[in-house]
Amino acid sequence: MHMVLLWLMAAILTGSSAQQANQRFDYLVRADFFAGAAGDEARLARAMELCERTLADNPKHPEAMVWHGAGLLVRAGQAFQKGDLANGGPLFDRGITQMNEAVTLAPDNPGVLIPRAATLFEATRGMPPDMARPLLQSAVANYQHVLEIQQATWSKLGDHPRGELLFGLAEGSARLGDQQSARMYFERLIADAPTSGQAPRAKAWMETGTVPKANGLGCVGCHK
């Protein structure tokens, strides 16, 4: 999983939760998950084991479910990179199913919507267009719902989480060919999050119609 996604998810998750810190499952799992997605198998295993222990106690824990599903997609991607389609395909299918079930259980929880959307946002980059499009559409829909949920507290969020979510929506729209929506979200990003690290990239898109690559590590669309 690309490091852009990892930092993106951390930033949105940090910015928009109404939960207390000691209640947030993502605080318990995300550091190991991010390290694992970047290649540290031992830490990915630790994150998956935490999810599995949590699900053993509560099989309907939506946040443990979505993070476990995301971990399965990471492992699926690793298998695909090795040419191991026999294992990669079932892992991918299980991961998608598990993340979808989590959203069904908690359709208004940003702690579920954002990990699912951010994971699919990145996972679809290397897929054939016909396969990627419906998954990317559902990821953008998750981001849009998070934006709706956050409207009551939007003014209290910092520029960083606002910018990351809006950039994710804008880039996702652009990838889907919806240039009108992309422009709307980029314009809102520039207006609502002018000091965000994504504002220069939004301005570059407005000038060129192309999303420039991030410099170094960044995060897009995954804050809560």
The arithmetic mean of pLDDT across residues 69-94, rounded, is 95
Interval 114-149: pLDDT, tens: 999 999 998 998 899 999 999 999 999 999 999 999
Q: Which residues contact 60 (CB under 8 A, 6 or more apart)?
A: 105
Helices (H), ranges, 59-198: 62-81, 85-105, 110-123, 129-149, 159-175, 179-192
* Both structure tokens of 109: 């929880």
pLDDT-derived band at 213 (thresholds 50, 70, 90) equals confident
pTM of the model: 0.86
Report the C-alpha gap between 63 and 84 in whole angstroms: 28
What is the model's pLDDT at position 218? Answer: 42
The arithmetic mean of pLDDT across residues 167-191, rounded, is 96
Residue pair 142/103 in contact by the 8 Å Cβ criterion: yes
The mean of the pLDDT values for the chain is: 88
Report the C-alpha gap between 168 and 172 in whole angstroms: 6
Residue pair 68/75 in contact by the 8 Å Cβ criterion: no
The arithmetic mean of pLDDT across residues 90-96, rounded, is 97
Q: Which domains does the chain have, with CATH numbers?
A: 3-208 (1.25.40.10)
What is the model's pLDDT at position 215? Answer: 57
